[in-house]
Structure 1
Amino acid sequence: MIANFTLDNDIQSSFIQRRLKSQERREMQREILSILGLPQRPRPLLHERHTAAPMYMLDLYNAILEERDQRSGYVESYEPVYTTPGPPMVSQQDSRFLNDADMVMSFVNMVEADDDLRLYHQHRREFRFDLSRIPPRETVTAAEFRIYKDFVHERYENETFGVSVFQVLQQKPKRELYLLESRVVWAAEEGWLVFDLTDTSNQWVINPGQNLGLQISLESARGENVNPRRVGLVGKSGPQNKQPFMVAFLKAPGVHYRGVRSASGNKQKGHNRSKNHKAGSAPSQVALKTAMEGASVDPKQGCKKHELYVSFRDLGWQDWIIAPEGYAAYYCEGECVFPLNSYMNATNHAIVQTLVHFINPETVPKPCCAPTQLHGISVLYFDDSSNVILKKYRNMVVRACGCH
């Protein structure tokens, strides 16, 4: 079932299930894709979820959930499809990058000179990543190249090596390189080596023709060239969960992630104002209050939040959405009639509108029950090029309802 409502009538529930499996199901798919900013559903050629890039992106996704729960104490009803094995791949710096981004994209290596030109390239590795999928309005706020280094058990074990990452500026007629970063590593070292590509990535996005890729070279402590494979650097022929990849943190202009302010603050102001004017109430106000005495609404009928779950799996999207399987969207429904009790979270305007409606219901309608607090969700998915994207979507989940 696409959407599960909390209903008292089983017949109503089964009707919704049948209805959403026909034309309404296609309409829902189209509308949700529009909300996600996608012209059509992606159809990735490969959707292997246990390679290095998807696992890193899933760790980012989990970091968003953990940070949100720690900040708000609010635990959502959806969980990741699976968790990654081993220690998390996300560093504290990545978490800071994530807080300032509205989208994260990972890219797998397009070209690595390895076997074809093995003799000529035995002391270096080349990588190139297609950044053409980055949306035009997005700015790269941070970018990293990640390559895994295995533990070396051979004769290099107690040695150190210099690892240098270059931007390729020109291939022909003469190869030109620009040094981006160098560092020293132990042969016995194991784990992900992370190199900053922020400035370079922005250059490539602005001028795609300049994207000639990266080159990695290694030297021994004695200044000799060393084959990266002998030192433990994992290339495209290595295990899937250790494949090199690039990640870019992106942000569109003017996008800020702040919570939607509740109407409760306005409600408190309205309460103080009524206290200040209580002693000077006009006779008409007293009469109105007297006329309304005894008016009430059943709390079960009042404005409140109700269950509504949207299942991406039931929409048939499990082949391209990695996480979540769905999300609890909720919806607001109920009466907004006098007296607007505290649990109705009414705005000052709604209070006045309710009073006027009570006097003349044909002139002014009752206030509406609507969300007063919303928060976003994060969706992890493959695009058509099998890149993995993590995107934040605002105002997708109802946190609280009130009368407006």
Structure 2
Amino acid sequence: LFMYIQQIKEIKVMLLGQRTVWASEDGWLVFDLTTASNLWLVKPEQNLGLHLLVEDSHGSRSPELSGLVTGSGPRNKQPFLVVFFKANEVRLRSIRSAHGQKRRHSKHSKPQRTSQDVMKAEGCNRRELYVSFKDLGWQDWIIAPEGYSAYYCEGECAFPLNSYMNATNHAIVQTLVHFINPDLVPKPCCAPTQLHGISVLYFDDSSNVILKKYRNMVVRACGCH
């Protein structure tokens, strides 16, 4: 089941985000609409609304048939939009945008990283980590492998939590509470959300050769908890 959220712009649409979900999933679906909200702020006349499209292997389906809560659903489960603006940052963003148009004609101009790129790089993500059993002093009893890519989770779980952060519903609420009152609760933590195992060939205490699969050794995905 694929879900797209798009900004309507005349006949064309601009893709703002997409999610792949299972039919058995339950909870909130979070989309990052920063790109659209920034555009609407600078050019209000281009605010032509949002369009939600749901697709499965048989094609498009209505949100209601896909299990999504719409306007006729329970009040406490209605979709909502969280928007946060700072006046001084908005002015700076508009000024930089104007200067950026002039710099495009310069031969020495370099592509700049967008704020969304920076947020994704600094946000909760999986990082590289290779573990060498020799460095741990385990080479005398582990036959193979010599090491493995374990990875680890690191990054900010700051407001707003973007869709790629795999945030739980609790983390979303905790982030909002922290934003309102930072002294009350801390930010959510970046932690593994999916792990898988590796097979290890080793000597036991009786010098027998054993092949065993150890669970939860490799980080497959990270999220805010």
Hey, what's the Cα distance between the residues in 2 that align with 1:330 and 1:378? 16
**1:361 corresponds to 2:154:** no
Residues 243-392 of structure 1 aligned to structure 2 (within 5 Å):
269-271=27-29, 276=70, 289-290=82-83, 292-293=84-85, 298-392=119-213
> 1:306 corresponds to which letter in structure 2?
R
Shift of residue 388, structure 1, vs aligned partner = 0.6
Q: Cα–Cα, structure 1 residues 305 and 338, in superposed 2: closer, same or farther, change >3 Å? A: same
Residue type of the partner of 1:359? I
Change (3 A) 1:278 1:348: farther
Q: Unpaired runs of 5+ in structure 1? A: 1-263
Match of 1:343, SS state, is: helix
Q: What amino acid sits opposite 1:350 in the alignment? A: A
Q: CA deviation at 1:377?
A: 1.4
How far 1:336 sits from its partner (Å)? 0.7
Amino acid in structure 2 at the alignment position of 1:383:
D
Once the two structures are TM-superposed, the CA of residue 278 in structure 1 deviates from its matched residue by: 10
Q: Residue deviations 1:48-107, cap 9 Å, x none?
A: xxxxxxxxxxxxxxxxxxxxxxxxxxxxxxxxxxxxxxxxxxxxxxxxxxxxxxxxxxxx
Aligned to 1:217: none
> Could you tell me how far apart the structure 1 residues matched to 2:119 and 2:68 are?
24
Structure 2: which 5+ runs fail to align?
Answer: 1-20, 31-66, 90-115
What amino acid maps onto 1:328 in structure 2? S
Name the % identity. Answer: 71
**CA deviation string 1:273-325 (max 9, x = no partner):** 9963699989xx98x934x1479771111000011111112233333211110
Aligned length: 137
Match runs of 1:133-152 below 5 Å: none
TM-score of the two chains, using structure 2 as the length reference? 0.51
Alignment of 1:93-112 (within 5 A): none
Equivalent residue letter for 2:208: N
In structure 2, the residue corresponding to 1:350 is in which secondary structure? helix
1:354: Cα distance to partner? 1.2
Sort the Cα spacing of 1:334 and 1:278 in 2 relative to 1 into closer, same or farther, 3 A: farther
After superposition, the Cα gap between the structure-2 partners of 1:315 and 1:279, relative to the gap in structure 1 and judged at 3 Å, is closer
Change (3 A) 1:271 1:321: same
The 2-side partners of 1:396 and 1:377 are apart by: 6
For the residue of structure 1 that corresponds to 2:177, the secondary structure is helix
On the 8 A contact 1:383/1:389 being kept in 2, the answer is yes
Query: For residues 140 and 134 of structure 2, what CA distance do their matches in structure 1 show?
Result: 9
TM-score (norm. length: structure 1) = 0.30
Bigger relative contact order, structure 1 or 2, given CA contacts below 8 A and separation 6+?
A: 1
Give 2:140's aligned amino acid: D
Q: Is the 8 A contact 1:267 1:345 kept in 2?
A: no
Output one character per residue of 1:307-346: Cα deviation in whole Å (capped at 9) or x when no partner. 1111112233333211110111111010111221111011
Q: CA RMSD in A?
A: 3.5
The code of the aligned residue for 2:144 comes to A
Partner of 2:63: none
Counterpart of 2:176 in 1: which secondary structure?
helix
1 CA distance for matches of 2:214 and 2:123? 29
8 Å contact from structure 1 (residues 267, 346) kept in 2: no
Distance in 2 (alpha carbons) for counterparts of 1:402 and 1:329:
16
SS of the residue corresponding to residue 207 of structure 2 reads: coil
Structure 1 residue 357 displacement after superposition: 1.4
Q: Which amino acid aligns with 1:373?
A: Q
SS across alignment from 2:27: helix
* Separation in structure 1 between the aligned mates of residue 154 and residue 215 of structure 2, nearest angstrom: 21
Residue type of the alignment partner of 2:28:
G
Structure-to-structure mapping, 1:62-81, within 5 angstroms? none
Give the superposition deviation at 1:268: 6.4
Mapped to 1, the partners of 2:70 and 2:216 lie a distance apart of 36
Q: For the residues of structure 1 that align with 2:25 and 2:157, how far apart are their CA atoms?
A: 15
Q: Is the Cα contact below 8 Å between 1:331 and 1:398 reproduced in 2?
A: yes
Q: Deviations over 1:18-45 (max 9, x none)?
A: xxxxxxxxxxxxxxxxxxxxxxxxxxxx
Higher Rg of the two aligned structures:
1
Distance 2:146 2:162 in 1: 37
